[in-house]
Chains A and B, each alone.
Chain A
Amino acid sequence: MPRALGIITPSANNMKVHGMDRFRPISAFSFLGRYRIVDFPVSNMSNSDIEHIQVYVSQNPRSLAEHLGTGRTYNINSKRGKLQLLFNQDSKSNEIYNTDIRAYADNMDQIELAHEQYVIITPGYMIFKEDYNQLLKDHIASGADVTILYHKVDNADKSFRNCRTVLLNRQKGLKTLGWNDGSNPETNIFMDTYVMERELFIKLIRKAQKISSVFRLVDIINEENDDLDIRGIAHKGYFNAVTDFKSYFDANLELLDFNKAQDLFTNDWPIYTVTTDSCPVRYVKGSKVKNSVVANGCIIEGSIENSIIGRGVEIRKGASVKNCVILGHATIGEGVKLEGQVVDKWAKILNVKKIIAPLDNPGYVTRGDTL
Chain B
Amino acid sequence: MKQTEMLAMILAGGRGSRLKALTSKIAKPAVSFGGRYRIIDFPLSNCANSGLDVVGVLTQYEPVLLSSYVSQGRYWGLDSRDSGVYAIAPREKADAELDVYKGTADAITQNIDFIDTYNPEYLLVLSGDHIYKMNYAKMLDYHKERKSDATIAVIGVPMKEASRFGIMNADENDKIYEFQEKPKQPKSNLASMGIYIFNWKTLRKTLIADEKNEKSSHDFGKDIIPALMDAGRNVYAYRFKGYWKDVGTIDSLWEANMDLLDHANELNLSDYTWRIYSEDPTDLPQYIGPDAEIDAAYITQGCVVDGKVVNSVLFTNAHVAPGAVVKDTVLMPGVEVAEGAKVTRALVADGVKIGKGAKVGSASSAEILLVDQDVKGVE
Interface residues of A (CB under 8 A from B): 32-34, 72-73, 258, 261, 265, 270-272, 275, 277-297, 299, 304, 312
**Once bound together, how far apart are the Cα atoms of A322 and B201, in whole Å?**
63
**Once bound together, how far apart are the Cα atoms of A294 and B303, in whole Å?**
10
**Once bound together, how far apart are the Cα atoms of A280 and B225, in whole Å?**
39
**Once bound together, how far apart are the Cα atoms of A350 and B263, in whole Å?**
21
B320 to chain A, nearest CB (A): 13
B198 to chain A, nearest CB (A): 31
B64 to chain A, nearest CB (A): 23
Q: Is the CB of B282 within 8 A of A270?
A: yes
**Once bound together, how far apart are the Cα atoms of A184 and B270, in whole Å?**
49
Q: Is the CB of B34 within 8 A of A291?
A: no
Please report the number of residue pairs spanning A and B whose Cβ atoms sit closer than 8 angstroms: 99
Instruction: Count how many chain B residues have C-beta atoms less than 8 Å from C-beta atoms of the other chain.
Output: 36
Q: Is the CB of B300 within 8 A of A283?
A: no
Q: Which of B34, B275, B287, B295 contacts A280 (CB 8 A)?
A: B34
Q: Is the CB of B304 within 8 A of A277?
A: no
Q: Is the CB of B301 within 8 A of A290?
A: no
- Given A271-B282, A290-B292: A282 touches B261 (CB 8 Å cut-off): yes
Q: Is the CB of B298 within 8 A of A280?
A: yes
Q: Is the CB of A293 within 8 A of B35?
A: no
B331 to chain A, nearest CB (A): 12
Give the contacts of B231-284 with A (CB-CB under 8 A). 260-261, 263, 269-270, 272, 275-278, 280, 282, 284
Counting from the closest, the 6 A-B pairs by CB-CB distance are A280-B35, A280-B300, A279-B269, A270-B282, A275-B280, A285-B296
Give the contacts of B29-48 with A (CB-CB under 8 A). 34-36
Q: Which of B35, B282, B291, B300 contacts A272 (CB 8 A)?
A: B282
Which chain A positions have C-beta within 8 A of B290? 290-291
- Given A279-B34, A280-B35: A291 touches B289 (CB 8 Å cut-off): yes
Which chain B positions have C-beta within 8 A of A32? 284-285
Q: Is the CB of B301 within 8 A of A296?
A: yes
Q: Is the CB of A261 within 8 A of B270?
A: no
Which chain B positions have C-beta within 8 A of A291? 288-290, 292
Which chain B positions have C-beta within 8 A of A270? 282
**Once bound together, how far apart are the Cα atoms of A294 and B313, in whole Å?**
15
Q: Is the CB of A282 within 8 A of B270?
A: yes
B136 to chain A, nearest CB (A): 19
Q: Is the CB of B286 within 8 A of A258?
A: no
Indicate whether B335 reaches chain A with its CB closer than 8 angstroms.
Answer: no
Which chain A positions have C-beta within 8 A of B277? 277
Interface residues of B (CB under 8 A from A): 34-36, 74, 260-261, 263, 269-270, 272, 275-278, 280, 282, 284-292, 294-301, 304, 313-314
Pairs A–B under 8 Å by Cβ, sample size 8: A33-B285, A277-B277, A279-B35, A279-B270, A282-B298, A291-B289, A296-B36, A312-B272
Q: Is the CB of A283 within 8 A of B294?
A: yes
New A-B contacts (12) at CB < 8 Å, excluding given A291-B289, A299-B270:
A277-B277, A277-B280, A279-B36, A280-B300, A280-B313, A282-B297, A283-B295, A283-B296, A290-B291, A291-B290, A296-B300, A304-B288
- Given A281-B298, A282-B298, A284-B263: A261 touches B284 (CB 8 Å cut-off): yes
B317 to chain A, nearest CB (A): 10
Q: Is the CB of A293 within 8 A of B296?
A: no
**Once bound together, how far apart are the Cα atoms of A275 and B282, in whole Å?**
9
**Once bound together, how far apart are the Cα atoms of A299 and B294, in whole Å?**
13
- Given A289-B294, A297-B270: A281 touches B289 (CB 8 Å cut-off): no
The prevalent SS among residues of B at the interface is: loop
**Once bound together, how far apart are the Cα atoms of A284 and B262, in whole Å?**
8
Q: Is the CB of B270 within 8 A of A34?
A: no
Which chain B positions have C-beta within 8 A of A280? 34-36, 260, 269, 298-301, 313-314
**Once bound together, how far apart are the Cα atoms of A265 and B286, in whole Å?**
13
**Once bound together, how far apart are the Cα atoms of A280 and B269, in whole Å?**
9
Q: Is the CB of B297 within 8 A of A265?
A: no
Q: Is the CB of B285 within 8 A of A294?
A: yes
A117 to chain B, nearest CB (A): 30
B200 to chain A, nearest CB (A): 31
- CB-based nearest A residue for B35: A280
- CB-based nearest B residue for A261: B284
Which chain B positions have C-beta within 8 A of A284? 263, 296
Which chain A positions have C-beta within 8 A of B280? 73, 275, 277
Q: Is the CB of B284 within 8 A of A265?
A: yes
Which chain B positions have C-beta within 8 A of A34? 285, 301
Which chain B positions have C-beta within 8 A of A282? 260-261, 263, 270, 297-298
Q: Is the CB of A290 within 8 A of B296?
A: no
A345 to chain B, nearest CB (A): 14
Q: Is the CB of A290 within 8 A of B300?
A: no
**Once bound together, how far apart are the Cα atoms of A304 and B285, in whole Å?**
15
Q: Is the CB of B299 within 8 A of A283?
A: yes
Q: Is the CB of B275 within 8 A of A277?
A: yes
- Given A277-B275, A283-B299, A289-B292: A295 touches B35 (CB 8 Å cut-off): no
- Given A34-B285, A281-B286: A258 touches B304 (CB 8 Å cut-off): yes
Q: Is the CB of A295 within 8 A of B285?
A: yes
Q: Is the CB of A287 within 8 A of B294?
A: yes
**Once bound together, how far apart are the Cα atoms of A230 and B298, in whole Å?**
53
- CB-based nearest A residue for B291: A290
**Once bound together, how far apart are the Cα atoms of A270 and B282, in whole Å?**
6
Of A278, A280, A289, A292, most B-chain CB atoms within 10 Å: A280
B264 to chain A, nearest CB (A): 11
**Once bound together, how far apart are the Cα atoms of A32 and B291, in whole Å?**
20
Q: Is the CB of B298 within 8 A of A285?
A: no
**Once bound together, how far apart are the Cα atoms of A272 and B281, in whole Å?**
9
- CB-based nearest A residue for B306: A258
Q: Which of B36, B270, B295, B300 contacts A285 (CB 8 A)?
A: B295
Q: Which of B278, B282, B288, B295 contacts A277 (CB 8 A)?
A: B278
- CB-based nearest A residue for B309: A283
Of B74, B280, B285, B298, most A-chain CB atoms within 10 Å: B285
Q: Is the CB of A292 within 8 A of B35?
A: no
B305 to chain A, nearest CB (A): 8
Which chain A positions have C-beta within 8 A of B35? 279-280
Which chain B positions have C-beta within 8 A of A261? 284, 287
- CB-based nearest B residue for A307: B288
**Once bound together, how far apart are the Cα atoms of A258 and B36, in whole Å?**
22
**Once bound together, how far apart are the Cα atoms of A295 and B294, in whole Å?**
16
Which chain A positions have C-beta within 8 A of B314? 280
**Once bound together, how far apart are the Cα atoms of A288 and B297, in whole Å?**
11
**Once bound together, how far apart are the Cα atoms of A291 and B287, in whole Å?**
7
